[in-house]
Chain A
Amino acid sequence: MSKLTAADFAPHSNEHHCHALSRPSLSYWQDAWIRLKSNKRALASGCLIIGLLIFTLLGPLLWSVNSSEQDLDQLSTPPGSARSALIIPDYEPWAGPTTTVTELELAGSATTQSVRLQWTSLPEANGHRVYRNLYPVGEEKAYGIPMAEFFDNNTLYFEDRLDLSPGIYYYSVVALGNNRRPATEAATIRVDVLRATTVDEAIAQGLVEEGEEIAVGDTVNIALHPLGTDYLGRDMLARLMEGARVSLFIGIFAPLLYVLMGVVYGSIAGFMGGKVDQLMMRFADFVVALPFLLFMILFKISFGIGPGESGIFPMLVAMVVLLWPATARLVRGQIMQIREQGYVEASKLLGAKSSYLILRHMLPNTLGVVLVTLTFEIPRAIFTEAFLSFIGMGVAPPTPSWGSMSNEGIKTMLNTPHELIFPALLISITVLAFNLLGDGLRDALDARMRNTE
């Protein structure tokens, strides 16, 4: 406490003033925006949603494949499958082995056009049966599907042209004993079937660029499906993009409509108060009590879907009719609360008209809550569409939606999971993004919730 001089103890001059409040004042929305910006999850979700919208709206411009066109060469093909096809001569019938046969063997190369098998008669055989399997024949002698039977010992060849896909097949020839019963003698061959196409087919399918010469023995690339195809050979990517349009259209547009309806209904009830409010809210209570999904289905039936209609519009109407009361209750509660606030009283004393009160005080102060509700209603609507489409009550085929695609995909889940995984993943990501964005918005806009997260 030493070395203090008299100058230190000189009083401050008269201009010495109190500090002003050091932090700048922010409006409600500025404050909310700052809060939202610092919420990384919400921000990432926002970007994801924008990405989804770009995928939906601009995607089809970049990937203009018809979503209902079938590629019969590629049914249920997972993404990343080999695409090369060998050019082979046109098909010519086969009349049996031309060379000496020593055992079960291939005649020529095995292609998707045909697999030609030839063999020598098995010991003690009166005839032969040919089987095809996708898996190796194990201890259990699981030969697979019987393809053909020959009840004489002269026909020692077989040509398979049934629905061949590129990949490994196991062909077995089993000896038939007396009474045409299979005997124990059998021979099995592993066949690697190559994708093949003829010159004419390649040109017809547009696999060859104009002016390019191709010949037998060349390879061409067959049509590209980046995310594979579904069980009807339709391009998954194109269908996902079109499905996104349906799912997001319902998912965003329906909540917009019924939240808006709820806001109008709720603010009328809240502002009028008294008997009108009582009556309006009783009615809302009844609508809330309707079992929602059952009535969605009921309304869908009741509207009926004509041929060629997608069923999107009835779904939209049903959602609006059934889902407005939640928002109406919320908004009404808010309006009732705001009506009692001092600043509204003050505004009334200053002679403000009802319309002014509603537009200047009540609606802006409910806007935050409404916005949060809207973000949480979007995933709900997307779920509803998916659910209805899943039980076959949603959009009518062939219009794709993520829900109906999942429904189709679930049937082939074990063999080709990509048909389920892609639409399910998109639904999940979209719902996740909207949920996280909603969380962020709620934290940013709702002062009461601020300290709990």
Chain B
Amino acid sequence: MTTAATGLQHTPSLLEVEDLAVEFSTYGGIVRAVRGVSFAVERGKTMAIVGESGCGKSVTVQAMMGLTPMPPGRITSGSARLNGVEVLGRNIINGKDIRGSQIGMIFQDPMTSLNPTMTIGDQIAEPLQVHRGYSHKRAFAEAIELLSITKIPEAAKRARQYPFEFSGGMLQRAMIAMAIACKPSILIADEPTTALDVTIQAQILDLLQDLQKETGMAIILITHDLGVVARMADDVAVMYAGKVVEQGGVDDIFYRSAHPYTLGLKLAMPTNDPSKQHKLNPIEGSPPDLFAPPIGCGYCPRCPYSMKICDVKDPDILPVGKKHESRCWLQHPQAITVPDELYCGEKA
């Protein structure tokens, strides 16, 4: 991955998100769900956004897609450029909605994400009718084709059925068929396998990989499952409390973790290696209250290596390697005691 990336350093990425911030007004006050997130997605690559529930990973992509209800949601800053064109806060570019045509999206719960009173075929046909102006007949025929591409048997019969007649895994396949109907350049998969059985999960991930190979689309994969990340991702952004705390290539994240939170996530991951007497180590405590985000580093209270400065000042994102960055004071040149587990680039 790194070789290709160096070559393309100065040409714009497919999607560049910069300093995105989103907040919600609620009964309890303003929740600052996303606080300055930047990342880039390369053509044909898979970018994984990892983090625990409530860290703002879904809000990031939904705000970008114009799917967060506003109000109560509000984008306070940032930009998102698709092929160099600003798309944040507006989805219609040159009279065409980029959603469904250039960016497809699938969601966590396929059971509730499809319209219960519309046939599967009609729902898959809809983006074709909307974006390409197909007749219903032509779009429906294409929908059957898409269903068979997503490996649904008896596609023609299935297309006339309703969501309640499908199983969860089948519904997720139908969702994928719908999302790729107009051959988008990016597919956003928001926790696509969380609601599914483990065996189905593997099938869905395989399907996504196959489709990516065939169509060359980029995938933004949102997940909290590091196993899925390891299997699918080229690039990874780790999010915590509304910020990206570490990002880099998949190998950087797993083998050269440069943030204590990433280390914590790895320790909390179950392993099937019987040689290691590995006990699951949960990360103590809970994420900060985003009604009143901390002044310092959000992870500081739970961090085993925290320092005085972590409480009072939020660290900047610091480079630790090629396209590998970490938001941690331990990466600062003045940091004295740096734990061995933490990768600090060549400077250490």
Interface residues of A (CB under 8 A from B): 1, 4, 6-12, 16-19, 21-23, 38
The answer to whether B307 has its CB under 8 Å from any CB of chain A is: yes
Per the CB 8 Å criterion, the residue count for chain B at the interface is 21
Specify which chain B residues have a CB less than 8 angstroms from the CB of A18 in the assembled complex.
Answer: 284-286, 301-302
Tell me whether chain A's interface is mostly helix, strand or loop, or mixed: loop
Cα–Cα, bound, A225→B257 (Å): 87
With A1-B316, A4-B309, A18-B302 as known contacts, state yes or no: A9 contacts B334, CB within 8 Å. Answer: yes
Contact B308 A10 (CB under 8 A): yes
Q: Which of B278-309 contact A (CB under 8 A)?
A: 284-286, 288-289, 301-302, 305-309
Per-residue 0/1 for B310-342: is the Cβ within 8 Å of any A Cβ (1 yes, 0 no)?
100000100000000000010010111100000
Contact A6 B334 (CB under 8 A): yes
Cβ 8 A contact of B307, one of A1, A10, A19:
A10
Residue of B nearest to A35 (CB): B27
Contact A11 B337 (CB under 8 A): yes
| List of 9 A-B pairs having minimum Cβ-Cβ separation, nearest first | A18-B285, A8-B309, A19-B301, A12-B306, A18-B284, A18-B301, A9-B307, A9-B336, A10-B308
Specify which chain A residues have a CB less than 8 angstroms from the CB of B335 in the assembled complex.
Answer: 9
Specify which chain B residues have a CB less than 8 angstroms from the CB of A21 in the assembled complex.
Answer: 286
Specify which chain B residues have a CB less than 8 angstroms from the CB of A11 in the assembled complex.
Answer: 305-307, 337
Contact A12 B316 (CB under 8 A): no
Contact B286 A6 (CB under 8 A): no
A41 CB, min distance to chain B CBs, angstroms: 16
Cα–Cα, bound, A223→B316 (Å): 85
Specify which chain A residues have a CB less than 8 angstroms from the CB of B302 in the assembled complex.
Answer: 18
B219 CB, min distance to chain A CBs, angstroms: 31
Cα–Cα, bound, A8→B306 (Å): 11
Residue of B nearest to A13 (CB): B308
Residue of A nearest to B306 (CB): A12
Cα–Cα, bound, A413→B305 (Å): 83
Cβ 8 A contact of B289, one of A8, A17, A23:
A23
Contact A16 B284 (CB under 8 A): no
Per-residue 0/1 for B23-54: is the Cβ within 8 Å of any A Cβ (1 yes, 0 no)?
00001000000000000000000000000000
Tell me whether chain B's interface is mostly helix, strand or loop, or mixed: loop
Contacts A12-B310, A19-B301 aside, 5 further interface pairs with beta carbons under 8 A come to A9-B307, A9-B332, A9-B334, A10-B307, A17-B301
Per-residue 0/1 for B1-38: is the Cβ within 8 Å of any A Cβ (1 yes, 0 no)?
00000000000000000000000000100000000000
Cα–Cα, bound, A11→B307 (Å): 4
B315 CB, min distance to chain A CBs, angstroms: 9
Q: What are 21 A-B contacts defined by CB distance under 8 Å?
A: A1-B316, A4-B309, A6-B336, A8-B308, A8-B334, A9-B309, A9-B329, A9-B332, A9-B337, A10-B307, A10-B308, A11-B305, A12-B306, A12-B307, A12-B310, A16-B306, A18-B301, A19-B285, A19-B288, A21-B286, A38-B27
Contact A8 B301 (CB under 8 A): no
Cα–Cα, bound, A23→B289 (Å): 9
Specify which chain A residues have a CB less than 8 angstroms from the CB of B284 in the assembled complex.
Answer: 18
Cα–Cα, bound, A19→B287 (Å): 9
Contact A8 B316 (CB under 8 A): no
Contact B308 A9 (CB under 8 A): yes
Specify which chain B residues have a CB less than 8 angstroms from the CB of A16 in the assembled complex.
Answer: 306
Cα–Cα, bound, A239→B105 (Å): 67
Cβ 8 A contact of A7, one of B301, B308, B329, B337:
B308
Cα–Cα, bound, A4→B307 (Å): 13
Contact A12 B332 (CB under 8 A): no
Cα–Cα, bound, A17→B302 (Å): 7
Cα–Cα, bound, A12→B308 (Å): 6
B335 CB, min distance to chain A CBs, angstroms: 5
B344 CB, min distance to chain A CBs, angstroms: 14
Residue of B nearest to A10 (CB): B308
Residue of A nearest to B27 (CB): A38
A7 CB, min distance to chain B CBs, angstroms: 7
Specify which chain A residues have a CB less than 8 angstroms from the CB of B308 in the assembled complex.
Answer: 7-10, 12
Cα–Cα, bound, A274→B252 (Å): 60
Cα–Cα, bound, A185→B337 (Å): 122
Specify which chain B residues have a CB less than 8 angstroms from the CB of A22 in the assembled complex.
Answer: 289
B171 CB, min distance to chain A CBs, angstroms: 23
Residue of B nearest to A7 (CB): B308
A405 CB, min distance to chain B CBs, angstroms: 43
Specify which chain A residues have a CB less than 8 angstroms from the CB of B334 in the assembled complex.
Answer: 4, 6, 8-9
A47 CB, min distance to chain B CBs, angstroms: 23
A9 CB, min distance to chain B CBs, angstroms: 5
Specify which chain B residues have a CB less than 8 angstroms from the CB of A19 in the assembled complex.
Answer: 285, 288, 301
Cα–Cα, bound, A4→B335 (Å): 10
A449 CB, min distance to chain B CBs, angstroms: 14
Residue of A nearest to B315 (CB): A1
Residue of A nearest to B286 (CB): A21
Cα–Cα, bound, A16→B337 (Å): 17
Residue of A nearest to B302 (CB): A18
Specify which chain B residues have a CB less than 8 angstroms from the CB of A10 in the assembled complex.
Answer: 307-308, 336
Residue of A nearest to B309 (CB): A8
Specify which chain B residues have a CB less than 8 angstroms from the CB of A4 in the assembled complex.
Answer: 309, 332, 334
Cα–Cα, bound, A204→B321 (Å): 109
B28 CB, min distance to chain A CBs, angstroms: 9
Cα–Cα, bound, A180→B331 (Å): 122
Specify which chain B residues have a CB less than 8 angstroms from the CB of A12 in the assembled complex.
Answer: 306-308, 310
A78 CB, min distance to chain B CBs, angstroms: 48
